Structure 1
Amino acid sequence: MKNLLTDIAGVRVGHADDARLASGTTAIIFDSPAVAAIDVRGGGPGTREVSLLDVANTVERVDAIALSGGSAFGLDAGGGVQAWLAEQGRGFRIREAVIPVVPGAIVFDLLNGGDKAWGRFSPYRDLGYAAAASAGTDFALGSVGAGLGATTATFKGGIGSASAVTANGVKVAAIMVVNAVGSATVGDGPWFWAAPFEEDGEFGGRGLPPKFTPDMLAMRIKGGPAASARENTTIGLIVTDAILTKAQAKRLAMIAQTGFARAIYPVHAPLDGDVLFAAATCEKPIEPLVELTELGMVAANVVARAIARGVHSATALPFAGALPAWKDRFGA
């Protein structure tokens, strides 16, 4: 186990980003189509091809998930991932037509100091293609891919990942892009809200503060009273090797969203676009009540850990006034 999304067999991750742009894209590729669903909790989401994930709709499986910076422009990244998959002959087949199925979600990173004057067409389609083409089983965390330009209320945000195994041997893993309106840390200190779920010092091992003060519990949000509904979002994906139906994947996403609340304060605000995809590679049978509940419980913990790792692993952007990284303030 690498404590990464790719601990699930048949899942690969690739990043592509542009330092001058201060933005990028992350592609999650399934070697075989995966059952998928989505749960949306934030008030300002930006998504692509998510209606087909509704349990009442026909398509059961997806070929990839595209996560991107760039706000609505970043939705083009899914087209780039789709183009790469089409070259591989991957997709939903209708007679001789083959259509790769690539849902996606975006975060707002347009005001982070990068050069967004790209002209007529945004670079995100090309970034999506490059991310898909580079996908492998090892990938970086922090300020890379869709997390390059991500921020939180107090520290630089980024990409995080984590994994776990249930008591019955079912694997579950998450990848998260942390660009929240709130904070992943308690007050201005080194403690992560997700500390009770940390494993092996994966995000610093600082635990929780010895006591909570009113200042620690005060609201910290990006932009203060002037915060925009388009400036924030935490997006991600939870994957399991359990055999799930589309409806069960939806329930898994709903339970796993609890991890957002364990790791970000405040969360699911009108200012956020929080989105969590859930996917199943369908390798191991699972009992549909108690074992699915346990899987969701563990998945929520994994989501919380991945969020904290995204902030812990981040590096500051090289622009005047940029937010510091957690490691700038508190070290490794």
Structure 2
Amino acid sequence: MNRGPQNAITDIKGLMIGHAQDDALKSGVTVLTSHAPFTASVSVLGGAPGTRETDLLAPDKSVAQVDALVLAGGSAYGLDACSGVVAGLRDQGRGYRVGSAVIPLVPGAIIFDLLSGGDKDWADTPYPDLGRAALNAAKAETDIGTVGAGTGAMTAMMKGGLGTASLTLDNGITVGALVVANPMGSVTTPGDRHFWAAPFEIDGEFGGLGPDPAAGLGRTLDSRKLGAMMERANTTIAIVATDAALDKAQCQRVAIAAHDGIARACVPAHSPADGDLVFAVSTSAKPLSAPTDLSLIGHAAALCLSRAIARGVYAATPAPNDLLPTWSELNAQT
């Protein structure tokens, strides 16, 4: 396996990512779309998810493909970002056609960032407009860090962020991940310097510090972090994607496997207070060539997701009224 040219989910040809955020609000929206509908499914392992239209992604449901996926801040309010994306896609004439009707299919998921320090005293929810703006900004590359749905993201003791990573398998199949890292748990070992995802890092993509030499079972949590974790509900929401031709059931298996990436990068993960969720996407550009391909894709998706989580937190930048420092601020003197 090798890192893709952009080290991003957009290394998968045809996928586009758009971001929109309000820095005063400290929240935003990220949209994944393509010029053509794509196959998708989902796996939810967190105890407190916030979702829209995810039931239609189950393998036994009749909808075969969707037009976009939305990751948003704003908790329940952020689900309205999907409405903005639906309206934008309808204006473009895109969607599922029933007679003369056009119905864009846009599942979405949200993080809890209502306590991020931003001004949430709106008269009208800003998320539909942010969703439409993110759709209009979609392109075949993506920024990371404090951007889009990662604008108000936080981890246990530092700012979170939006991250991405990719791998190209030996068989030519590409796999990528896009994530809003906002977990209740910690992404770093005690001391806030070394990432739990360090064993999977490629080419120093999140600092090159390697694993914590002092890490071990007895150092997975400390009381300071545990207390902070329990004060708020958080979530890691992600999209993993591949250009391999997968059906909905196979996409669901990839989404399930990719959750390992959250568990390796966030401690703890999949808790009752997290809404941890992974969408899996196939652009169906390349046929599977061997019975083991699906397992390799799932494995690669988990690796990409761990790396994407660390990259998003590593790239986070400070902003006025932040409640938590960034990784860079915490490690500026070390």
Structure-2-length-normalised TM-score: 0.95
Give the match's secondary structure for 1:257. Answer: helix
Indicate whether 1:35 and 2:36 are aligned: no
Cα distance, 1:226 vs. partner? 4.7
Structure 1 segment 137-152 matched on structure 2, within 5 A: 137-152=140-155
Residue 325 of structure 1: aligned partner? 326
Q: How does 1:113-128 map to 2 (within 5 A)?
A: 113-119=117-123, 121-128=124-131
Instruction: Please give the per-residue CA displacement for 1:260-291, whole angstroms capped at 9, x wherever unaligned.
Output: 01110010001100000000000101147411
Aligned to 2:199: 196
Q: Secondary structure at the match of 2:195?
A: coil
Q: 1:114 to 1:34 in 2, by over 3 A?
A: same
Aligned mates of 1:260, 1:223 — CA distance in 2: 21
Moved more, 280-289 or 158-167: 280-289
Find the residue that maps to 1:66 and give its secondary structure: strand
Residues in 1 aligned to 2:296 and 2:267: alpha-carbon distance in whole angstroms: 25
> 2:67: which partner in 1?
63
The residue that corresponds to 1:282 in the other structure is 284
- Distance across 2 between alignment mates of 1:254 and 1:225: 25
The answer to whether structure 1 residue 212 and structure 2 residue 211 are counterparts is no
Alignment: residue pair count: 328
Are residues 202 and 88 of structure 1, via their aligned partners in 2, closer, same or farther at CA, if it must alter by over 3 Å?
same
Shift in alpha-carbon separation, 1:30–1:324, aligned structure 2, 3 A = same
> Which residue matches 1:8?
12
Distance 1:218-1:134 versus aligned 2 partners, 3 A rule = same
**Which residue in 2 is equivalent to 1:82?**
86
Change (3 A) 1:308 1:86: same
Query: Aligned partner of 2:63: which letter?
Result: V
Q: TM-score, normalised by structure 1?
A: 0.95
The partner residue of 1:307 within 306, 309, 326 is: 309
- 1:209, distance to aligned residue in structure 2 (A): 1.7
Kindly indicate whether the alpha-carbon contact (under 8 Å) linking 1:60 and 1:246 is maintained by their aligned counterparts in 2. yes
Letter in 1 for 2:157: T
Q: How far apart, CA to CA, are the structure 2 residues paired with 1:225 and 1:307?
A: 17
Q: What is the alpha-carbon distance in structure 1 between the residues aligned to residue 276 and residue 179 of structure 2?
A: 11
Q: Following the alignment from structure 1 to structure 2, what is the Cα–Cα distance between the partners of residues 278 and 242?
A: 12
**Would the aligned equivalents of 2:235 and 2:275 in 1 still touch at CA under 8 Å?**
yes
Report if the CA contact (8 A) 2:184-2:230 is conserved. Answer: no
**2: CA distance, partners of 1:244 / 1:68:** 26
* 1:46 maps to which of 30, 47, 50: 50
The whole-number CA distance in structure 1 between the counterparts of 2:52 and 2:101 is 21
Q: State the secondary structure of the residue aligned to 1:13.
A: strand
Q: Counterparts of 1:325 and 1:109 in 2: how far apart (Å)?
A: 16
Q: Alignment partner for residue 96 of structure 2, among 87, 92, 109?
A: 92
Matched residue SS, 1:77: helix
1:240 aligns with 2:242: yes
Distance 1:213 1:268 in 2: 20
Query: Aligned partners of 2:118 and 2:7: how far apart in 1?
Result: 31
Tell me the SS of whatever aligns to 2:80: helix
Structure 2 segments unaligned to the other structure (5+ residues): none
Report how far residue 224 of structure 1 moved: 3.4
Considering only aligned residues, what root-mean-square deviation do their CA atoms show, in Å?
1.6
Change (3 A) 1:14 1:165: same
The answer for the alignment partner of 1:186 in structure 2 is 189
